[in-house]
């Protein structure tokens, strides 16, 4: 069997390789195309990373707001405050919000009027002959006014 691969001779190695303008143009185009593709891939990856970073920041803000709202709701319940008092709780951390809720509770004390209580709510009501007698009707409903007047 004969070997078809030729071994370069010392004369072939010593001879400089010559390139045509077409060879140079093709190599330059190939190199530019490879660089352009790599640049585009890097740019797209950076855009995806930036979008992911913005989404993460938005979710972190939403989580912080949700935790703060839940804390405010708990503090309003724990300190027996009115829902309207939530706007007065402006702190950003639990310690500040708790201190604000305690101050509101101390200031409001028992000054906040209590709502009428309907003790017979959901039970059948016997209608009275006169609808003008509001007090009798409310009494029949089981509503009491612990505040001392209507």
Instruction: Please give the backbone phi and psi of residue 125, each rounded to the nearest 5 degrees, phi first.
Output: -115, 135
Instruction: Please state whether the predicted TM-score (pTM) of the whole model is above 0.95.
Output: no
pLDDT band at 49 (very low <50, low <70, confident <90, very high): very high
Asked whether residue 1 carries a pLDDT value surpassing 80, the answer given is no
Question: DSSP string spanning 13-40?
Answer: HHSPP---HHHHHHHHHHHHHHHHHHHH
Q: What is the pLDDT of residue 55?
A: 97
């Amino acid at each position: 069997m004969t070997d078809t691969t030729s071994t370069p001779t010392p004369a072939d190695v010593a001879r400089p390789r010559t390139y045509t303008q077409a060879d140079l143009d093709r190599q330059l185009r190939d190199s530019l195309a490879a660089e352009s593709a790599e640049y585009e891939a890097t740019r797209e990856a950076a855009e995806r990373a930036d979008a992911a970073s913005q989404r993460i920041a938005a979710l972190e803000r939403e989580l912080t707001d949700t935790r703060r709202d839940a804390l405010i709701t708990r503090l309003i319940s724990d300190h027996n405050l009115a829902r309207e008092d939530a706007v007065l709780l402006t702190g950003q951390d639990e310690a500040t919000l708790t201190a604000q809720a305690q101050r509101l509770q101390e200031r409001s004390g028992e000054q906040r009027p209590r709502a009428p209580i309907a003790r017979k709510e959901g039970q059948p009501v016997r209608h009275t002959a006169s609808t003008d007698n509001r007090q009798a009707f409310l009494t029949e409903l089981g509503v009491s006014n612990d505040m001392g007047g209507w």
